[in-house]
Structure 1
Amino acid sequence: MNIQTLLVDDEPLAIAEFQSMLAKYADIEIIGTAENAAIALEKIETLQPQLLFLDIHMPGKSGFDLLEELDYSPLVIFVTAYDEYAIKAFEVNALDYLLKPINSKRLEEAIEKIRKQLSLEPVKSPKVPIDKRIFIKDGEACFFVPLSEVFLIENVGNYARFYYQKNKPLLHKSLNYLETKLPEEHFFRASRQHIININFIRNIYPTFNHSLEVELQNGAIIPISQRQSVKFKELMGL
């Protein structure tokens, strides 16, 4: 299976060199390139690549700004000349962080991570009914989690933290995967970091940039990304 890939970098020479390095990987199919976040946003929404090689420093919006605007969330590997953003990169669930000039061995390791991740995440899967319980083994503790009582799911690296009652176990699954499994009439992808159960919303607040924040019944304030705010308003009839 080919991995449909988009390259985003404001330096044409960097893109050309990267294309040359990726040519040895038969399963990496480059379906497009973009020189800035605005072009990348349009191509991601249209082409829906599985994998994004993303520069951080670009004219206008940064790579991090781009990710905040996405509805569709591909797997991400950052490619940058700067090492100080590594922690932030993994906080937004990037699978890897490659420094320029790209080391061929590190690139190979990153490709293997992508292959492994995609093998764990089927494109389509049946939804889990809201009245079911899901089993989570977190360390030595085991939880049978009533899905209807989960009010928030939070991205924690390669894990997802489920909040229900006073519990918050970790499940070794990505939010992208969980989004394919959860019933959309109850769960909404607020951002790359959060999925919320709309049945637990207490209040909705507008913010200065036309985005929204929701207050859950436990008092937690969850921001909704600008693009997802548009979808949320349609969903809630706002």
Structure 2
Amino acid sequence: MIKTVIIDDEKLARDVIKAYLKKESNINIVAECANGFEGMKAIQEHEPDLIFLDIQMPKLTGFEMLEVLEHKPVIIFSTAYDEYAIKAFELNAADYLLKPYSESRFKEALKKATAKIEQSESGTAIEKIMQDHKEQQESLDRVVIRSGSKILIISIDKIDYFEAQDDYVAIHSEGNKYLKQLTMKWLTSVLPENEFVRVHRSFIVAVRMIDKLEAYSKDSFIAILKNGDKVSVSRSGYQQLKTVLNF
């Protein structure tokens, strides 16, 4: 039996999926969820083989949920937003259902998903999906973080600065520090350029947090932040700050 979780904020969409799945003798629907948080809880509890996942949902989007998953099921995306129907997701998800879809199209997607489950491809596929999503993403307005058993959503206007730490980035926000597997290069490409500046290869700082700059050596500076933290500023970072702050 293939353990399955349905995650969609629209009841009608969940009902359609359930109706189609009832005709499949090898499917066991273990949970249905109306948002990403419920979906996270259900996946943690049931460790399903397959999930039907909407992308645009309140509270936590489908992609944000995938970012913090520990258990890696096979995914069939199901959504009404065709702008997400790009080649990357079609390649790495089991399939992509664009609402409204026919029963025959649904069966085709389920057949592909079953094959992936049998081949144990789910973990690698999710990693590729998230990598492709990041490459397509043009802007960032919040960060989703797993902190113990909690899922935190941090708006970028609450982030003071980012600090590179080996394969992770430390996110400093309101006196707290969270680690997330990101790259400084990617953050530089998606953060608002007039609100965040990469002042050093190891630091990206929110411009609103800078209190003053002090010379450290001939070619480097120290940024004193409003919370008292000190951040290294390279020569090129200093030039970028001059442009953004107009001094």
Give the match's secondary structure for 1:90.
helix
Q: Distance in 1 between matches of 2:115 and 2:168?
A: 40
Matched residues in 1 for 2:90 and 2:103: separation? 25
Indicate the residue corresponding to 2:62 in structure 1: 63
Aligned in 2, Cα 1:38/1:214: closer, same or farther, shift over 3 Å? Answer: closer
Q: CA deviation at 1:33?
A: 0.5
> Partner of 1:30: helix, strand, or coil?
strand
Alignment match of 2:166 (pick from 184, 188, 203): 203
Q: Contact 2:51/2:76 (CA < 8 Å) preserved in 1?
A: yes
Q: Structure 2 matches for 1:59-208, cutoff 5 A? A: 59-87=58-86, 90=89, 93-121=92-120, 203-208=166-171
Change (3 A) 1:60 1:109: same
Which segments of 5 or more consecutive residues in structure 2 lack a partner in the other structure? 130-164, 173-177, 188-247
- What's 1:28 paired with? 27
Distance 1:27 1:222, change over 3 A: farther
Opposite residue 117 of structure 1, the aligned amino acid is K
Aligned to 1:3: 2
Q: Alpha-carbon deviation of 1:112?
A: 1.0
Classify 1:203/1:41 alpha carbon distance in 2 versus 1 (closer, same or farther; 3 Å): same
Cα displacement (A) at 1:102? 2.1
- The aligned residue for residue 14 of structure 2 is 15
SS at structure 2 position matched to 1:71 = coil
Letter in 1 for 2:11: P
Residue of structure 1 in register with 2:37 after alignment: 38
Aligned residues: 144
Give the distance between the partners of 1:88 and 1:207, measured in 2 at CA: 32
The residue aligned with 2:215 is none
TM-score by structure 2 length?
A: 0.51
- Say which one has the larger Rg: 2
Seq. identity, %: 38
Question: Kindly tell me: are residues 213 and 75 of structure 1, through their superposed partners in 2, closer, same or farther at Cα, counting changes over 3 Å?
Answer: closer
Per-residue CA deviations over 1:81-104 (Å, capped at 9, x if unaligned) read 111112276189311100111211
Task: Deviation per CA, 1:179-207: give whole Å up to 9, x if none.
Answer: xxxxxxxxxxxxxxxxxxxxxxx935542
